[in-house]
Amino acid sequence: MSPILKIILSRLAMGVLTLLIVSVLIFSAIELLPGDIATETLGQSATEETIAAFRERFNLNDPVHLRYLYWLRDAVQGDFGVSLANQRPISELIAARAGNTFFLAAYAALIAVPLAIVLGMMAALYRNSAFDKGVSGATLAAISFPEFFVAYILVLLFSVIFGWFPSLANVDASTGLGERLYRTFLPALTLTLIVVAHMMRMTRAAIINLLALPYIEMAHLKGMRRWRVIAVHALPNAVAPIINVVALNLAYLVVGVVLVEVVFVYPGLGQLLVDAVSNRDVPIVQAACLIFAATYILLNMTADILSIIANPRLLHPR
């Protein structure tokens, strides 16, 4: 078996084990919530017969370990049960909302990743210059504020003062791609400003570490232009750490959209999670948390595998 295949299989096994542990934590946390789910859902005026029928329908009378196994078995098959609030299948609700969340994350990533790499390369090229200090200061300032604060500032500037973009990202299945990109620009820009600092600074640091190596100095002595040295010789060898920080921030773009979606009333998975918490719709909360956890683990596992493949020294440590 090749070393790469062994690494992939070991990372997959570790990812599955991690997700299993997280599923236990999610289910246990929901179980520890105060109050009775049946009473909270049906209200104080519900009769004992109605509560008993509700508990029987959703297996609430079974021991907690059996209910966890039932839930895990159905979740693996893509069946997350029925919403307590509107009695609709949770899989249908999540399918529509998850597509919006992943679209917003991909939109922000298409802006943030190239921007961060270019800014990181330019900051390394003009190290300690006014450009380097200005970009580093601006990105650090953006990441220092919470997401909702950045979102409200962007709404104030681009929606209230200038009127260029809508303050609400109200999209649906019939919204065209161009209109969807226009309506979701502000939430995508908010996410971009939050994550671009990490990627830019890692790109800058990784390239600066390589600029003092002998092969880089040899390229300079041969008369190669400095920007070409960075783009052709330094950047490819800095891929491993850059991949790691990019994947971590992509994971954040998916799981960290909750506040941004609430601010812009964007119909994504984060907004669905907040609404489910407000309505005490426990099955939706469990399903959404599990999907967020699976996405985060998958992206981290992918980053780990790609960084190892991009670094031959990790494949052959001897």
**How many Å apart are CA 242 and CA 120, to the nearest integer?**
10
The pLDDT score that the predictor gives to residue 177 is 85
Q: pTM for the complete prediction?
A: 0.78
Q: State the DSSP code for 46.
A: -
Would you write out the chain's pLDDT as a tens digit for each of its 318 residues? 666 777 778 888 888 898 899 888 888 887 776 666 666 666 666 666 776 776 666 666 667 778 888 888 888 887 787 777 777 788 888 887 888 888 888 888 888 888 888 888 888 777 788 888 888 888 778 777 777 888 888 889 888 888 888 888 888 777 888 888 888 898 988 888 888 888 888 888 877 777 766 776 676 666 677 777 777 766 677 677 777 777 778 777 777 777 888 888 888 888 888 888 777 778 888 888 888 888 888 888 887 777 777 665 655 555
C-beta separation of 150 from 194 below 8 A: yes
- The domains of the chain, with CATH numbers, are 100-280 (1.10.3720.10)
Query: Identity (one letter) of the amino acid at 29?
Result: A
C-beta separation of 238 from 206 below 8 A: yes
Instruction: List, as one string, the DSSP characters of 124-193.
Output: HHTTTSHHHHHHHHHHHHHHHS-HHHHHHHHHIIIIIIS--S-SS----TT--HHHHHHHTHHHHHHHHH
